Structure 1
Amino acid sequence: MKLSRLTAAVGALAVGAVLALTGAGTAHATENSAGPAYVALGDSYSSGVGAGSYDSSSGGCKRSTKAYPALWAASHSPSSFNFTACSGAKTADVLNSQLGPLNSGTGLVSVSIGGNDAGFADVMTTCVLPGESACLNKIASARAFAQSTLPGRLDQVYNAISAKSPSAHVVVLGYPRFYKLNGSCLLGLSENERAAINGAADLLNSITAKRAADHGFTFADVTSRFTGHEICSGSAWLNSVTWPIDDSYHPNAAGQSGGYLPAFSAAA
């Protein structure tokens, strides 16, 4: 059951602080015998925040052995695997800190990015506190940013990937809807708030998919794979407000293996 507003409010400021983490952590690389050279870029949805089993060498980037890039690499034996996705990353962090392993020999790239640019942390921090109007206003601001500014930032990232690895197959992954509407949650956010958050995720995905297609990349939509496993579903693949607090509103291990991994595998 969804945590009450009172419980959520206790951790709200902490949620905002930790969800906005950025970092330039070092790449984790492995050399194997077959498959394309694979580089995994992006934010916390790619690094595996929320799934546990974090690589201690990744520091604040919180790269998980249960994240879809690590799971795919373990089962497909790429000729090399560089995992530079990082918790809290924005488009600028990808450009400045994550592209080092890309080169002309890179055959496969995955990336999820844009949620932090659009204010993911601020939206969820605001919405777990009492006050529907404040939540809806924050979502409206995020939507406006996503429509006006985010496309140009995504173009910068996608152009940089293409420039460094012109022959790579690039898979851009989207974000799930957070909530099952009229689900098992009796407390917490209102249905209006949950619906607005889901709508914002849909908008972010549609914008990202369009920019990916225009660059010749493949967009992997995870929405259908998470259907029936949203928060309030009774079988959630997403954490609600939880501890550690920065795992909140991220896929758990089941979400990575059952949601993101098959979406990426199908697109790759």
Structure 2
Amino acid sequence: MRRSPLVVLVSSLLLAVGTALTGAATAQASDLAATGPYAALGDSYSSGVGAGSYIGSSGDCKRSTKAYPYLWAAANSPSRFDFTACSGARTGDVLSGQLGPLSSATTLVSISVGGNDAGFADVMTTCVTQSDSTCLSRVNTARAYVDSTLPGKLDSVYSAIRSKAPNARVVVLGYPRFYKLGTTCLGLSETKRKAINDASDQLNSTIGKRAANHGFAFGDVRGAFTGHEICSGSSWLHSVNWLNIGESYHPKAPGQSGGYLPVFNAND
């Protein structure tokens, strides 16, 4: 049966109104997340280790005014900004010491966590100081942990965040690939560099899957850091920093502003 022109017109108008309302609701939700209370949780990649300009009161947590959460808050002026991310934090540290500011009023949460649980610092130390075979063995141990144990730990953190901040948009940030391969580069062998990159990919895959399972956005920074890895000639990451060993393999200030911040902006 053919519908009358009037029916077609009314249907088209209703569809247009519905689309407009949906778009308005989405924009309203985005605006709410940008202006309501924002909590930045996680490890050194969120606190800004390696970016310098550390906030004195943050002590060993080394929260930086050049870290992506601080930059985002400065640009968006949320009604409240709680910066609890801390250098060295593992999933258990987030659960025990970083969730206090969260509430039903919280509209936006960011977090990066999981690398320390997987033994990132020990992997890098082993690979810098030991042979290829010893490095690969340590990387494989970390990868086994990421497969078997880390998913449950991430689930615990993500569930706690959702319980304490039921109305918040949650953005989980991943980790960059550390090395540009196929180039002449002093330091680690190509074998070590590839093993570390592959482990980073696996870690990101695990984090992304668990985040999606909880309905959270996953901010994959690997694309943003492409061309800015160690050995690229334009690195946004510290290599071994003997003057400040804790900054080794962490984003420099351009890695926070040019890598993490745009990815967070695209997902907030």
Which whole-Å CA distance do the structure 1 matches of 2:184 and 2:218 have between them? 31
Which whole-Å CA distance do the structure 1 matches of 2:64 and 2:134 have between them? 34
Matches within 5 A, 1:1-268: 35-185=35-185, 187-242=186-241, 243-268=243-268
Bigger radius of gyration among the two: 2
Residue 19 (structure 1) aligns with = none
Amino acid at match of 2:71: L
Which whole-Å CA distance do the structure 1 matches of 2:234 and 2:92 have between them? 35
Question: Do the aligned partners of 1:123 and 1:139 also contact (CA within 8 Å) in 2?
Answer: yes
Question: Do the aligned partners of 1:99 and 1:161 also contact (CA within 8 Å) in 2?
Answer: yes
> What's the secondary structure of 1:128's corresponding residue?
helix
Alpha-carbon shift at residue 184 of structure 1 (Å): 4.3
Alpha-carbon shift at residue 53 of structure 1 (Å): 0.2
151-160 or 236-245: bigger deviation: 236-245
Question: Do the aligned partners of 1:37 and 1:105 also contact (CA within 8 Å) in 2?
Answer: yes
Give % identity.
Answer: 69
Which whole-Å CA distance do the structure 1 matches of 2:159 and 2:184 have between them? 43
Which whole-Å CA distance do the structure 1 matches of 2:182 and 2:247 have between them? 24
Amino acid at match of 2:211: A
> What's the secondary structure of 1:264's corresponding residue?
helix
Alpha-carbon shift at residue 194 of structure 1 (Å): 0.3
| Structure 1 residue runs without a partner (length 5+) | 1-33
Which whole-Å CA distance do the structure 2 matches of 1:142 and 1:237 have between them? 24
| Structure 2 residue runs without a partner (length 5+) | 1-33
TM-score (ref. length: structure 2): 0.86
Which whole-Å CA distance do the structure 1 matches of 2:105 and 2:119 have between them? 34
TM-score (ref. length: structure 1): 0.86
Alpha-carbon shift at residue 65 of structure 1 (Å): 0.2
Question: Do the aligned partners of 1:184 and 1:234 also contact (CA within 8 Å) in 2?
Answer: no
Alpha-carbon shift at residue 130 of structure 1 (Å): 3.4
Regions of 4+ moved over 4 Å: none
Alpha-carbon shift at residue 183 of structure 1 (Å): 2.4
* Coordinate RMSD, CA, aligned: 0.8
Question: Do the aligned partners of 1:50 and 1:248 also contact (CA within 8 Å) in 2?
Answer: yes
Question: Do the aligned partners of 1:55 and 1:62 also contact (CA within 8 Å) in 2?
Answer: yes
Which whole-Å CA distance do the structure 2 matches of 1:167 and 1:76 have between them? 19
> What's the secondary structure of 2:35's corresponding residue?
coil
> What's the secondary structure of 1:205's corresponding residue?
helix
Does 1 or 2 have the higher relative contact order (CA < 8 Å, sep 6+)?
1
Question: Do the aligned partners of 1:106 and 1:168 also contact (CA within 8 Å) in 2?
Answer: yes
> What's the secondary structure of 1:106's corresponding residue?
coil
Question: Do the aligned partners of 1:91 and 1:153 also contact (CA within 8 Å) in 2?
Answer: yes
